[in-house]
């Protein structure tokens, strides 16, 4: 159905007062910016109508509106005209059974204060927030760095979402790439420090034809939130989690933040399914200088707890690298390829395979260990140091799937590097392994404190003149395991 009014923006008069003589009010500016962006997206000038408390609005007018856009603020909630107009449009929607309300938040109005009919709708937050104090306010400068990454990012989101809605109403294709149209992804809610980055990733996934959950605001109570997250996860075969330096608020009746809850509930789902039937990608910020003790503890649990990391690829890399991994794994179908590969047994020469894990800086010294393993009759898998990050990582994951036993070589690398490689071995089932690892050993120099690995199933061997003899029992374990 075609409508003569593309977008009807309704607002309280107090939200459009000029800040100085002959200047536009907030709503006027918003309309100008949205109109400019929509014209680029639609390829034609849109018909956007403004209505405030001093304007008349008939039922016939509402019937001819494609998209209804309330500007939510405390002033809007105090306006009987605004609330009545909203109710009247919702009655129109009940007849058409088509959701066409775009909730724009001029100020930070809590969910519980919003009209009940809007609470489940995801909103476009057009205000700025000070991450240090949590205080919110209007943008004074619409063209500084913060406005570019937040206000204008939402304007772009709104324009594309309006375009898709208008095309759907007219029965036309939206032009969105249709690959993976049957897939749905759970893109976990984040702490306040990563909301913009989450929206960027969400927009790219949607542009490639993915349905992204959560597709509504999460409830206020912990029990209701958990139920909603589980329901959304049931629709998905991939979940993506961004973990920053803020732990986040703990909802009513709970003891964990929403970020924490989502991570654990996704892990529970992964634990109940075969490898690759449900995949998780977890990114942890490398910059934790501003993280409090609770957040540090949460992150350490994610990295170390085998139950929490079940079926997950955990990366603590620059965020742009993680976005590239999402493109490769999710958008370009890398996870599908891994699912297929995990069903095919590796064809080897019949020898047990040992993955010799070492860093590039220790390549020459590790070559001596490789020679010992080969002479002992084992197929040696080696890390790759050629190509880009994705190529190197893909080789690492392939080796984790194929190995029978693993040797971590600690030469000049630091303790953190060793910890991450040990964690990779713990997470190996999440990469599609069908069999247990027969043996794990850490070759380390004399005097290193290796108490961290006690009870982790990793044998510690000193890199000394007796290295070959020390490896014998490990090799037998791999051969007969």
DSSP for 161-207 reads HHHHHHHHHTT-------TTTT-EEEE----GGGHHHHHHHHHHHHH
Confidence of residue 1 (pLDDT cuts 50, 70, 90): low
pLDDT at 224: 92
- Ordered DSSP codes for 132-166: TT--EE--S-TTSHHHHHTHHHHHHHHHHHHHHHH
Q: Tell me the mean pLDDT in the region 154-183.
A: 66
Residues 155, 447: Cα–Cα separation, whole Å: 58
Residue whose structure tokens are 């140091």? 385
From 169-178, 251-260, 385-394, 448-457, the region with the lowest mean pLDDT? 169-178
Name 394's Cβ contacts closer than 8 Å, sequence gap at least 6: none
pLDDT at 446: 65
pLDDT at 179: 36
Q: Tell me the mean pLDDT in the region 263-269.
A: 91
295 or 448, which is more confident?
295
Residues 106, 289: Cα–Cα separation, whole Å: 32
Write the CA distances from 264 to 260, 261, 269, integer angstroms.
6, 5, 9
Asked if pLDDT for residue 76 goes beyond 90, the answer is yes
349 or 207, which is more confident?
207
Residues 154, 161: Cα–Cα separation, whole Å: 10
Paired tokens of 296: 């540090």
Write the CA distances from 287 to 249, 318, 465, integer angstroms.
20, 9, 40
At 299, give phi and psi (nearest 5°).
-65, -40
User: Pairing state of beta strands 184-187 and 211-213?
Assistant: parallel
Confidence of residue 256 (pLDDT cuts 50, 70, 90): very high
- CATH architecture of the domain 1-175 equals 3-Layer(aba) Sandwich (3.40)
Residues 191, 203: Cα–Cα separation, whole Å: 18
384 or 387, which is more confident?
384
pLDDT at 355: 93
Question: 63-67, 74-78, 84-88, 171-175: which has the highest mean pLDDT?
Answer: 74-78
- Ordered DSSP codes for 250-299: PPBT-SS-HHHHHHHHHHHHHHTS-TTTSEEEEEE-S--TT--HHHHHHH
From 47-56, 333-342, 456-465, the region with the lowest mean pLDDT? 333-342
How far does Cα 85 stand from its chain's mean position? 36
The sheet with strand 353-357 has its strands ordered as 379-381, 353-357, 405-409, 439-444, 459-462
> What percentage of the chain has pLDDT greater than the value 90?
22
211 or 2, which is more confident?
211
Q: Where are the domains of the chain?
A: 1-175, 177-344, 353-480
Q: Tell me the mean pLDDT in the region 79-99.
A: 78
User: Does 177-344 match 353-480 in CATH topology?
Assistant: yes
Confidence of residue 79 (pLDDT cuts 50, 70, 90): very high
The Cβ of residue 334 has, within 10 Å, a number of other Cβ atoms equal to: 18
Residues 56, 81: Cα–Cα separation, whole Å: 10
Right CATH for 177-344 from 1.10.540.10, 3.40.50.10140, 3.20.20.140, 1.20.210.10: 3.40.50.10140
The per-residue pLDDT of the chain, averaged, comes to: 81
Paired tokens of 257: 């933040």
Q: Is 186 exposed, middle or buried (0-12, 13-18, 19+ CB in 10 A)?
A: buried
Residue from 87, 96, 86, 102 nearest 6 by CA: 102
Asked if pLDDT for residue 181 goes beyond 50, the answer is no
From 36-45, 123-132, 157-166, 430-439, the region with the lowest mean pLDDT? 430-439
CB 441 within 8 A of CB 458: yes
* C-alpha torsion sign, points 309, 310, 316, 318: negative
pLDDT at 226: 94
Q: Helix crossing, 415-426 with 389-402: angle to 10°?
A: 50
Paired tokens of 138: 């209007």
Domain 353-480, CATH homologous superfamily name and number: Toll/interleukin-1 receptor homology (TIR) domain (3.40.50.10140)
Residues 264, 282: Cα–Cα separation, whole Å: 12
Q: Tell me the mean pLDDT in the region 168-194.
A: 67
Residues 232, 215: Cα–Cα separation, whole Å: 8
Asked if pLDDT for residue 420 goes beyond 70, the answer is yes
């Amino acid at each position: 159905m075609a409508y003569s009014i593309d977008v009807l923006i309704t607002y309280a008069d107090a939200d459009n007062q000029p800040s100085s003589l002959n200047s536009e009010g907030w709503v006027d500016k918003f309309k100008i910016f949205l109109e400019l962006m929509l014209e680029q997206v639609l390829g034609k000038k849109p018909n956007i109508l403004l209505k405030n408390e001093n304007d008349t609005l008939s039922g016939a007018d509402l019937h001819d509106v494609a998209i209804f856009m309330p500007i939510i603020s405390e002033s809007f909630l105090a306006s009987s005209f605004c609330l009545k107009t909203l109710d009247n449009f919702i009655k129109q929607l009940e007849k058409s059974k088509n959701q066409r309300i775009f909730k724009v938040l001029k100020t930070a109005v809590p969910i519980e204060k919003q009209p009940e009919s809007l609470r489940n709708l995801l909103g476009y937050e057009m205000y700025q927030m000070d991450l240090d104090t949590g205080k919110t306010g209007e943008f004074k400068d619409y063209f500084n760095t913060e406005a570019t990454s937040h206000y204008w990012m939402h304007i772009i989101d709104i324009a594309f979402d309006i375009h898709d809605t208008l095309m759907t109403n007219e029965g036309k294709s939206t032009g969105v790439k249709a690959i993976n149209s049957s897939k749905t992804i759970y893109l976990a809610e984040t702490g306040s420090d990563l909301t913009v980055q989450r929206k960027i990733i969400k927009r790219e996934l949607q542009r490639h034809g993915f349905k992204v959950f959560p597709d509504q605001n999460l409830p206020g109570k912990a029990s209701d939130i958990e139920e909603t997250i589980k329901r959304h996860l049931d629709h998905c075969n991939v979940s993506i989690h961004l973990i920053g330096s803020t732990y986040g608020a703990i909802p009513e009746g709970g003891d964990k933040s929403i970020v924490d809850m989502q991570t654990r509930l996704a892990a529970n789902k992964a634990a109940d399914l075969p490898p690759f039937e449900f995949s998780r990608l977890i990114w942890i910020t490398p910059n934790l200088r501003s993280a409090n003790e609770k957040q540090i503890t949460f992150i350490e649990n994610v990295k170390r707890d085998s139950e929490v990391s079940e079926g997950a690829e955990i990366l603590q890399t620059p965020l742009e690298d993680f976005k590239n991994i999402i493109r490769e794994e999710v958008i370009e179908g890398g996870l599908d390829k891994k699912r297929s590969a995990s069903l095919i047994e590796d064809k080897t020469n019949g020898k047990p395979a040992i993955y010799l894990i070492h860093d590039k800086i220790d390549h020459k010294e590790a070559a001596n260990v490789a020679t010992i393993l080969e002479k002992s009759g084992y197929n040696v898998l080696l890390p790759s140091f050629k190509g880009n990050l994705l190529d190197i990582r893909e080789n690492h994951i392939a080796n984790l799937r194929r190995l029978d036993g693993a040797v971590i070589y600690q030469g000049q690398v630091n303790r953190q590097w060793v910890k991450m490689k040990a964690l990779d071995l713990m997470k190996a089932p999440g990469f599609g392994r069908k069999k247990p690892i027969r043996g794990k050993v850490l070759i380390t120099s004399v005097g290193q404190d290796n108490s961290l690995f006690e009870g982790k199933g990793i044998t510690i061997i000193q890199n000394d003149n007796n290295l070959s003899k020390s490896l014998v029992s490990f090799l037998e374990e791999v051969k007969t395991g």
